[in-house]
Structure 1
Amino acid sequence: MRIAFMGTPDFAVPTLEALAAAGHDIAAVYTQPPRRAGRGKTLQPSPVHRRADALGLEVRHPLTLRDAGEQAAFAALGLDVAVAAAYGLLLPVPILEAPRLGCMNVHGSLLPRWRGAAPVQRSILAGDAETGVIIMQMEKGLDTGPMLLEGRTPIDGKTAGDLFAELADLGAGLMVRVLADPSAYPPRPQPEDGVTYAAKIEKAEARLDFSHDAAQVERQVRAFNPAPGAFFEHGGERIQILSATIEEGSGAPATVLDDSLAIACGMGSIRPDIVKRAGRGAMATAELLRGFSIPAGTVLS
């Protein structure tokens, strides 16, 4: 098939690679424009942009697809289908209708639960038992289109980073299956019940709230690993917790209970296993405490 691929972060790269490996004619790759990043604030292309360059594919990064000229250029590609995966721009109707088979999306949740920007993190925060990927037909509404194929996976104790990697590979395989024979996957309307919305993650949410019970705090740790990184502050420094264990100890919330950094929550406690100081790599909690004292009785902020 003649395809336009539309994606931006690492999550989208496996789908791009799978489509290329399956022999599809990828007419153009659409991605977000390069952003300034790093200490030097130099312009950095997106992960999809870098991979598309390596594959020798044409890359386009318009600021908007609402411009009539951009829409005409898209239509001129003569596409069978457009495939989107975490692209980051809403597709206006002229874009949705230009390809012969319309536009399909790799969405990282079990729709209609967690429509929107951050389905993986929200599923962890909510304590969902499982999540998955839906291949859906795109329409004007926010993730409201009919479903074509789904895959599921248990969340267990996985971090957002774990799930992003797993769902990216799962979604890539599902998309290849759908495009191999679209007629085998007739569209199914999403159920009207069970709709939830996954709002974009705000950096302020990553500050750990120890007034919650330990299970919720531990979910916060996993949901924000690798980014933006769940954290507390002590001695004027921000300490990220990358993994933690739930324990039964109790005390006033945010109080350090022992010299191994067990931290009281609203119910129960957590013990950080892997932590990270600003500007340093991840380390075991014992290593942190050898050079950064956080004694029992300390109240964290």
Structure 2
Amino acid sequence: MPLRVIFMGTPEFSVPTLRAIADAGHEVAAVYTQPPRAAGRRGLELTPSPVQREAERLGIETRTPTSLKGEAEQAAFRALQADIGVIVAYGLLLPRAVLESPRLGCINGHASLLPRWRGAAPIQRAIMAGDSETGMMVMRMEEGLDTGPVGLVEKCVIEPDMTAGDLHDRLMGVSAALIVEALARLERNSLAFTAQAVEGVTYAKKIGKSETHVDWTRPAAEVHNNIRGLSPFPGAWCEVEIGGRVERLKLLRSTLAQGVGEPGGILDDRLTVACGAGAIRLVEVQRAGGRPAAAQEFLRGTKIEKGMKLS
């Protein structure tokens, strides 16, 4: 029998899961998402989240509270009389009263192999750390930060040059399929949950601004992992002199390369850059105010030569 679901999510990552739940025939009683945020060039327009836009397209009631700690919001949540709460990248902490309100509790789709990378930025942190594998997990939610027991797992290889954007898009589809499978098993009362391992706990803290400026003195593998882990957002960057003016250059894709030189030094005409140990080759870059461009396209209109330096 289809379940009555409350869905809670905010970014684009969550949209395919909401759509898949509805397509599977479950009744989505309401969608909770972050309130509209200021956007536009001047930051004056309030823009609804991707999940809100999808919920409205599907004709599902949407709620955008700034907190769920108050009794009035909790009573409104209980009044929905849901069988299950499904959370995928919602962005608000859920108090116990909310977690225990649905008949079957709440489950969460989390983009890591827990207990590794609990927290806000598991996709970026896995790549920045040089992990070769990650995945999606469906867990039963508790009050702790991503501490609940796990019901389903699907692993995913992190390829050597894969960016956070690439991995995000792959796991986005995995999340949708895995959550629908979890709901089907809950309908049959056949989803077992296993406690997370005590060993191997790491935390995926939010990306800090100081992490986005490339430090060319670091080994090439670390520089490469930072570039791809921060791509496309917020984006790793460096500065370079173009036409007598210093400009910020956003680095979107790179690959490990051969070469030795002063850190930040350009080693050839293909944007190979020396690091503290080894070198990387820039594959895709973006000038401030410009669009992403492949390295060779970028070089056709920009004079960056061997011997110049990125800082």
TM-score by length of 1: 0.97
Aligned AA (2:9): G
Deviations 1:66-92 (A, max 9, x none): 111111100110010100000000101
Indicate conservation of the 8 Å contact 1:178/1:184, yes or no.
Answer: no
Aligned AA (1:294): I
Which of 194, 219, 227 matches 2:200?
194
Secondary structure at the counterpart of residue 226 of structure 2: helix
1:247 equivalent to 2:257? Answer yes
Aligned position for 2:183: 179
Aligned AA (1:35): R
Which of 299, 303, 307 matches 1:297?
307
CA distance in structure 1 between the partners assigned to 2:90 and 2:71 by the alignment: 19
Which of 294, 303, 308 matches 1:284?
294
Deviations 1:131-150 (A, max 9, x none): 00000000000000000100
Which of 28, 33, 46 matches 1:43?
46
Aligned AA (1:4): I
CA distance in structure 2 between the partners assigned to 1:145 and 1:77 by the alignment: 24
Aligned AA (2:264): A
Secondary structure at the counterpart of residue 18 of structure 2: helix
Deviations 1:199-226 (A, max 9, x none): 1112331211111111111111211111
Aligned position for 1:205: 211
Q: CA deviation at 1:291?
A: 2.9
Aligned position for 1:87: 90
Q: CA deviation at 1:296?
A: 2.3
CA distance in structure 1 between the partners assigned to 2:137 and 2:127 by the alignment: 17
Aligned position for 1:104: 107
Indicate conservation of the 8 Å contact 1:130/1:155, yes or no.
Answer: yes
Q: CA deviation at 1:289?
A: 2.4
Secondary structure at the counterpart of residue 166 of structure 2: helix
Percent identity, aligned pairs only?
52
Closer, same or farther: CA 261–67 of 1 in aligned 2, 3 Å:
same
Indicate conservation of the 8 Å contact 1:81/1:99, yes or no.
Answer: yes
Give the length in aligned residue pairs. Answer: 301
Aligned position for 2:147: 144
CA distance in structure 2 between the partners assigned to 1:63 and 1:223 by the alignment: 30
Aligned position for 1:227: 233
Which of 52, 65, 69 matches 1:66?
69
Structure 2 unaligned spans of 5+ = none
Greater mean deviation of Cα atoms: 50-59 or 229-238: 229-238
CA distance in structure 2 between the partners assigned to 1:162 and 1:295 by the alignment: 30
Aligned position for 2:19: 17
Greater mean deviation of Cα atoms: 166-175 or 138-147: 166-175
Greater mean deviation of Cα atoms: 19-28 or 290-299: 290-299
1:267 equivalent to 2:277? Answer yes
Secondary structure at the counterpart of residue 181 of structure 1: helix
CA distance in structure 2 between the partners assigned to 1:261 and 1:113 by the alignment: 35
Which of 115, 119, 123 matches 2:122?
119
**Poorly superposed stretches of 4+, deviation over 4 Å:** none
Indicate conservation of the 8 Å contact 1:30/1:61, yes or no.
Answer: yes
Indicate conservation of the 8 Å contact 1:274/1:282, yes or no.
Answer: yes
1:158 equivalent to 2:162? Answer yes
CA distance in structure 1 between the partners assigned to 2:102 and 2:225 by the alignment: 41
Aligned AA (2:31): V
Aligned AA (1:82): G
CA distance in structure 2 between the partners assigned to 1:209 and 1:85 by the alignment: 33
Aligned position for 2:78: 75
CA distance in structure 2 between the partners assigned to 1:84 and 1:58 by the alignment: 16
Secondary structure at the counterpart of residue 228 of structure 1: coil
